[in-house]
C-alpha cells in the first residue's frame, strides 16, 4: 500500500471516521437528486469508495437494489452492517486500484469525494472501461494538495475523455466547492 492507502485504510483525522460519514445524509439526498434522472431502479450501480455505505443505503431505500460498493476501510464496511442492517448491497474490501471487478460493466459508477484522494491516474482508464452507461463524479477539483495531504485535484472532464459529459454543476453545499459531472457512454 502507498502512504495514501495506508491513511484511508485507517484514517486518523476525526472528520474521516466512518461514524461521521453516516451523519451526512444531505450528501446522499444530493446524490439521489443527481442520479435519479440518469439511472433506472433495475440498473447495476457501484460506488467506488463507499465508506460506511450511507449513499448505498439511501439508494436502497429509494428502490435501487442492484448495488455494489468497494472501500479500503474494513472497519467502515463492518459498521455498515450495524448502521444499515436492511441494506443488501454487495460490499467489497480493498483498494479501488486493486479491485477485482465482478462485472464487465456497471450501468452506473459513481464517486463522491474519493477520486480526489487517488494520487495515481492509471485507474481512471479502468474505471472508464467499466462504465456501462453513466459515470457520476462529485469531487473537489480545485483545492490544492498541502504537503503531507491526501488531496489530488484534477478536472475530470479532461480525465474521462472517452465518455461524453452531459451535466456539470458546482455544488453550493454538502460541502461547497465540489464539482458534479455526469458522463455517458456513447452507444454506437
Average pLDDT for consecutive 10-residue bins of the chain (188 residues)? Answer: 75 80 92 97 98 97 98 95 96 92 94 90 93 96 73 92 96 86 87
Backbone angles phi, psi at 39, to 5 degrees: -130, 135
Write down the pLDDT at residue 174.
79
Write down the pLDDT at residue 188.
56
Q: What are the structural domains, with CATH classification, of the chain?
A: 3-184 (3.40.50.150)
Write down the pLDDT at residue 120.
81
Write down the pLDDT at residue 147.
59
Write down the pLDDT at residue 18.
83
Write down the pLDDT at residue 142.
87
Amino acid at each position: 500500500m502507498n502512504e495514501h492507502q495506508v491513511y484511508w485504510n485507517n484514517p486518523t483525522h476525526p472528520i474521516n471516521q466512518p461514524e461521521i460519514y453516516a451523519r451526512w445524509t444531505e450528501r446522499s439526498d444530493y446524490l439521489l437528486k443527481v442520479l435519479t434522472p440518469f439511472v433506472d431502479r433495475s440498473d447495476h450501480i457501484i460506488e467506488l469508495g463507499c465508506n460506511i455505505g450511507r449513499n448505498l443505503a439511501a439508494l436502497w431505500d429509494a428502490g435501487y437494489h442492484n448495488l455494489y460498493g468497494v472501500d479500503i476501510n474494513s472497519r467502515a464496511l463492518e459498521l455498515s452492517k450495524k448502521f444499515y442492517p436492511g441494506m443488501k448491497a454487495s460490499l467489497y474490501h480493498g483498494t479501488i486500484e486493486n479491485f477485482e471487478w465482478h462485472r464487465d460493466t456497471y450501468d452506473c459508477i459513481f464517486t463522491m469525494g474519493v477520486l480526489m484522494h487517488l494520487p495515481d491516474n492509471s485507474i481512471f482508464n479502468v474505471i472508464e472501461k467499466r462504465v456501462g452507461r453513466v459515470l457520476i463524479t462529485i469531487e473537489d477539483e480545485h483545492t490544492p494538495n498541502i504537503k503531507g495531504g491526501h488531496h489530488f485535484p484534477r478536472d475530470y472532464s479532461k480525465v474521462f475523455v472517452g465518455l461524453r459529459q452531459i451535466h456539470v454543476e458546482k455544488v453550493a453545499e454538502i460541502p461547497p466547492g465540489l464539482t458534479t459531472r455526469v458522463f455517458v457512454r456513447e452507444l454506437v
